[in-house]
């Protein structure tokens, strides 16, 4: 094999797209949620590849910092997490279907039973396998997943229920937890109290990130923070106390000078009213930098009409024209010319452009912004010793 005349590249240093994940901030956010949870034990929700930040490194960091309960969406996620959290209790939120039994049992995963169909199948599995833990999801008004409240209470009181059916957790989910004044929160709380009374002696869980901020009444035995761990907003209209965790950056491929009156990008969506300097960067909607953050030519967005912003050399700079599949143009006219050159990196979101602000510019939420990042981001994890 021919020896190459250069050293192996540092993938992160040369990447067109970089995602830096601050594991110290992540752990501090989890500890903050644990403190706010009071007497309740605090789990960690790491579904969707830990909200786009990497279930392996995120899961291991939280596990080593004391998290002993985790929630994933699928069995596949649970199998991966088990390698990094060997003694943790891992709940699978989508439950169980035929064909999943072996991986559930072999990886010591706890299925969350979410429907009458899953309950019937699970009973049949237990008849052959014997006692095995599960969790029971109850619908208290969300009308998404879960047994109807009346059916769950009837199940708790059913003396013919097999002894092998042994839920270790009964849980529900708030529909309006991010809106503290919404009366739906109190309605669901009262409904869930009826459920927990029926399942006396079994641990219970109602609050995810937003629910934790509603106060001790909502905490029960186990809280389930998700988005707050990753630094994004959990409650509408409240200053976000969480530390930013993720920083997404894109490399500047080219800078160019453009005269006043010229147009930029597809559809001539932006006409420049001054001589301008533009930076073309290696991020687009294929990388989760959403087209709806474009500065013009996108009729769907109303919340932030001017579009998204980036951050480079100490300056906030606007998106110029339409975002495309692989490229975005930023107007860097107001940045001293010597401070922006090809090869530099611009922050798409992070500590200077908060992920929720970037999301609002796209007409969406921080959850979608984080989980939409494509595979082309080169991840780099940092942590204090």
Distance CA 105, CA 109 (A): 6
Catalytic hit among 47, 63, 230, 289: 47
What is the Cα gyration radius of the chain?
24
DSSP class of residue 351 equals: S
Strands (E), the chain: 17-22, 41-42, 44-45, 69-72, 89-92, 109-113, 132-139, 147-148, 165-171, 203-205, 222-223, 246-258, 263-264, 270-271, 276-281, 309-312, 315-318, 328-331, 345-349, 378-382
Distance CA 198, CA 192 (A): 10
Catalytic hit among 259, 266, 345, 367: 266
266 is catalytic: yes
Distance CA 282, CA 74 (A): 32
Q: For residue 289, give both structure tokens.
A: 């930098």
| Burial class, 68, CB count within 10 angstroms (exposed 0-12 / middle 13-18 / buried 19+) | middle
338 is catalytic: no
Instruction: Just list the catalytic residues.
Output: 47, 266
């Amino acid at each position: 094999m021919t020896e190459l005349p250069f050293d192996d590249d540092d993938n992160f240093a040369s990447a067109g797209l970089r995602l830096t994940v601050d594991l110290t901030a992540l752990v501090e956010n989890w500890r903050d949620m644990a403190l706010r949870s009071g007497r309740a034990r605090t789990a960690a929700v790491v579904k969707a590849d830990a909200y786009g930040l990497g279930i392996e490194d995120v899961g291991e960091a939280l596990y080593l910092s004391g998290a002993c309960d985790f929630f994933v969406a699928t069995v596949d996620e649970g199998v991966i997490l088990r390698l990094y959290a060997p003694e943790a209790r891992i709940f699978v939120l989508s439950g169980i279907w035929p064909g999943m039994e072996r991986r559930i049992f072999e990886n010591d995963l706890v299925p969350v039973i979410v429907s009458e169909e899953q309950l019937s199948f699970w009973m049949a599995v237990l008849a052959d396998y014997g006692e095995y833990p599960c969790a029971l999801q109850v619908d208290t008004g969300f009308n998404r997943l879960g047994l109807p409240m009346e059916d769950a209470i009837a199940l708790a009181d059913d003396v013919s229920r097999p002894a092998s059916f042994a839920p270790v957790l009964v849980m529900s989910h708030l529909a309006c937890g991010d809106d503290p004044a919404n009366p739906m929160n109190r309605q669901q709380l009262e409904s869930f109290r009826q459920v927990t009374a029926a399942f006396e002696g079994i641990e219970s869980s109602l609050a995810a990130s937003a629910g934790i901020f509603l106060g001790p009444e909502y905490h029960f035995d186990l809280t389930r923070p998700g988005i707050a761990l990753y630094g994004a907003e959990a409650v509408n209209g409240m200053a976000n106390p969480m530390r930013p965790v993720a920083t997404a950056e894109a490399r500047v491929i080219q800078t160019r000078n453009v005269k006043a009156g010229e147009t930029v990008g597809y559809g001539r969506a932006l006409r420049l009213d001054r001589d301008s300097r533009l930076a073309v960067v290696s991020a687009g909607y294929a990388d989760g930098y959403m087209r709806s953050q474009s500065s013009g030519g996108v009729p769907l967005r109303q919340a932030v009409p001017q579009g998204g912003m980036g951050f480079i050399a100490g300056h906030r700079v606007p998106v110029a024209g339409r975002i495309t599949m692989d490229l975005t143009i930023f107007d860097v006219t107001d940045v001293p010319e010597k401070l922006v050159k090809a090869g530099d990196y611009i922050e798409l979101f992070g500590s200077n452009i908060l992920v929720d602000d970037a999301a609002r510019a796209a007409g969406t939420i921080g959850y979608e912004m984080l989980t939409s990042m494509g595979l082309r981001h080169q991840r780099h994890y940092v942590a204090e010793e």
